[in-house]
Structure 1
Amino acid sequence: MLKYSFLFPFLVCTLALSQTIETVNIGDQVWMAKNLESNSFQNGSAIIQAQDREQWQNLTEAAQPVWAYYYYDKATGEPYGYMYNIYAITNGNPCPKGFRVPTNDDWQKLIKYVSEDLAAKKLKSISGWDDNGNGTNDYAFNALPGGVKSGYGGFNSYKKQASFWSNSTHDDQGLWSVVLMWWSDKAIINPSGKKGGLHCRCIKE
């Protein structure tokens, strides 16, 4: 496995076979530098792409792992990575080999290291956010405002919100998640239910 640094002292490319994974070192954690784009678990089982609202709803009700682009549109959603339902997080490991979905503790540790009062500002990208919501991207985490899929309804907060899964159970209704908003410098830890869709940012094991 070969590693080299470029652009930032904490931005690294890891080459594994034919796959290139950009990572960022933040404290003693190593995060993927982009949102996940995987259509399968590490064991090879498929994560199904939902092409419309009905398909997302039916597969989620059947507890099947699903991903989709924002608004089911590749041109709109591709810059932000895939949005996943809860079963794409809980039914297996969707991250590349050597990585996993972060726990709530992992997110809390990141936020504490970066700054509890300024985590969102420092993790958000320097462009792409509406309403003066851009961040400073101090750690090359480059969180993009890819919005959120709320329940079986529509998509919300495009260019205003970045939402990421953890794999830590909140209660029988869902998992903890991390939300970065255009209007806040702080990162928000929220419970997320079983019907919606969020992006995923993997952490090195």
Structure 2
Amino acid sequence: MKKSFGISLFLSAIVAAHFIACSDSSSEPDSPDTPEVSEPEDTPDAPSSAQCKELYGITEKNSWSKTITNSTILNKEACSKAAEFISQTGNLDISCYEAMLNPEENRIDFILNSEYGYRGVWIKLNGCKYKLGSDGDFNTLIPKATEWEFDGCLCKVEKGVTYYRNIAPKKTEESSSSKEEEISSSSETFHSWQSSSSISYVPPLEAVAGTMVDTRDNREYKTVTIGTQTWMAENLAYAYVEPTKTQDSSSFCDDKDPDYCEKYGRLYLWSAAMDSAAVFSEDGKGCGYDFRKCANENNSNGKIRGICPEGWHLPNVDEYEVLFTAIGGQKEPSFPDWNNVEKSLKSIEGWKEYEGRDGNGFDDYGFNVMPVGRADDTENVHLYDQGGVAFFWTSDNRNDFTAEIITFHNWTPEVSNSGTGMNSYLSIRCLKD
């Protein structure tokens, strides 16, 4: 009995050993001791931490994300690359205006500011690589673009998963100071706003409505006083008929709609806004006409009357800042967009809906920004963007071809300061001296 049990145990051991050997042979690739063979990662060379900190201000505390958020690092890097390529390839003056994530298309959409106005392009994401494209703008230049790649500070691929830097870099006091210096010295960066900490908030109920009469044509305008400023509460409609090299008038009314000017005011070239013909003052003489420089660039009082009535002037960017701050507007230093402004200043009707977003405002202060649109100084001046955008000239210029403007949109809550070509016809709001 004991002998039989011993033989059975011995045979069982042999069978088990044979089974284990066969099993090991057939499952060898899955053995944890076998080195894993992986495909090479499609990721850029990783710079050192010191390099990332030097280039972008990134530290180890800045996190990674599987999705792109509104990261100023990634958006600025890609938009700058696109603007630089189009500028160099097309010999154009291009700068970044705004970036918007488009997750449904796996891309980032950009609005570029050019000497011909706003133009749209986008980048299609493929891991850390991205390709420039558009829906029609710059269509002769886009095919010449190669595929670009975010560097290892901004993007990495691990085991087939792409990770992005999803927050803006933290700036030291020294780097912030140098950045402000860069912003104020570059002609292609956004306007550097002055400090507004001394401006007090003005509730809507404290805004004071009034009227004024332009004695040049006896037209009456609504006005509104908000804090220390008194603004026209309607767009200027004075017919400035000084000719340009290509047009018989430097202001525009839609002749297809007899009530257009009565409702929306006129649209003006920047040369007309500045009164470059010096009809009313010498302040803006020569400004913008045939892209000429202003004759009086060092205006002693800092105010340009321009085409505005006597006792009023064409506001500069900083004066718009005072208005926006007084009604509770907020913005990040060195960025061009204002929040908490749009609804308070827009008209309550006339704005088109955009993808379910109501473009109309509440007009809390009686400022009544209407979606007038714009026109361009082409062979045949034509109106477009009506119902979706309002543009206002300022007395500031960026360079010999572009001037600073203030823009309200129907598709975003942000009110922006940017530049556009002086050959655009835009609206004017005058500010009391």
Query: Common fold, TM-score beyond 0.5?
Result: yes
% of aligned pairs identical?
27
- RCO higher in 1 or 2 (8 Å CA, sep ≥ 6)? 1
Q: Which has the larger radius of gyration?
A: 2
**Contact 1:145–1:160 (8 Å) recurs in 2:** yes
Letter in 2 for 1:32: M
CA distance in 1, matches of 2:389, 2:261: 13
CA distance in 2, matches of 1:194, 1:124: 25
Higher helix share: 2
> Which residue is 1:52 aligned to?
none
The structural deviation recorded for 1:13 is 2.2
CA distance in 2, matches of 1:160, 1:195: 20
Instruction: Give the secondary-structure state (helix, strand or coil) at the position aligned to 1:127.
Output: coil
> Which residue is 2:420 aligned to?
192
Cα 1:78–1:102 shift into 2, 3 Å? same
> Which residue is 1:10 aligned to?
208
Q: How does 1:108-127 map to 2 (within 5 A)?
A: 108-114=321-327, 115-116=329-330, 117-127=339-349
Letter in 2 for 1:173: F
> Which residue is 1:27 aligned to?
227
The structural deviation recorded for 1:104 is 1.2
The structural deviation recorded for 1:186 is 1.8
The one of 359, 371, 377 equivalent to 1:145 is 371
Which structure 1 residue ranges, 5 or more long, are not aligned?
1-6, 40-46, 50-58
CA distance in 1, matches of 2:206, 2:220: 17
Cα root mean square deviation, aligned:
2.6
Cα 1:179–1:106 shift into 2, 3 Å? same
The structural deviation recorded for 1:204 is 0.3
> Which residue is 2:253 aligned to?
69
The one of 265, 268, 275 equivalent to 1:81 is 265
**Contact 2:266–2:427 (8 Å) recurs in 1:** yes
Matching of residue 178 in structure 1 with residue 391 in structure 2: no
The structural deviation recorded for 1:16 is 7.7
CA distance in 2, matches of 1:109, 1:77: 28
Matching of residue 105 in structure 1 with residue 318 in structure 2: yes
**Contact 1:70–1:155 (8 Å) recurs in 2:** yes
**Contact 2:403–2:421 (8 Å) recurs in 1:** yes
Higher strand share: 1
Cα 1:64–1:172 shift into 2, 3 Å? farther
**Contact 2:237–2:261 (8 Å) recurs in 1:** no
Instruction: Give the secondary-structure state (helix, strand or coil) at the position aligned to 2:423.
Output: coil
The structural deviation recorded for 1:109 is 1.7
TM-score, length-scaled by structure 2:
0.39
TM-score, length-scaled by structure 1:
0.79
Which stretch shifts more, 150-159 or 77-86?
150-159
Matching of residue 94 in structure 1 with residue 316 in structure 2: no
Letter in 2 for 1:168: D
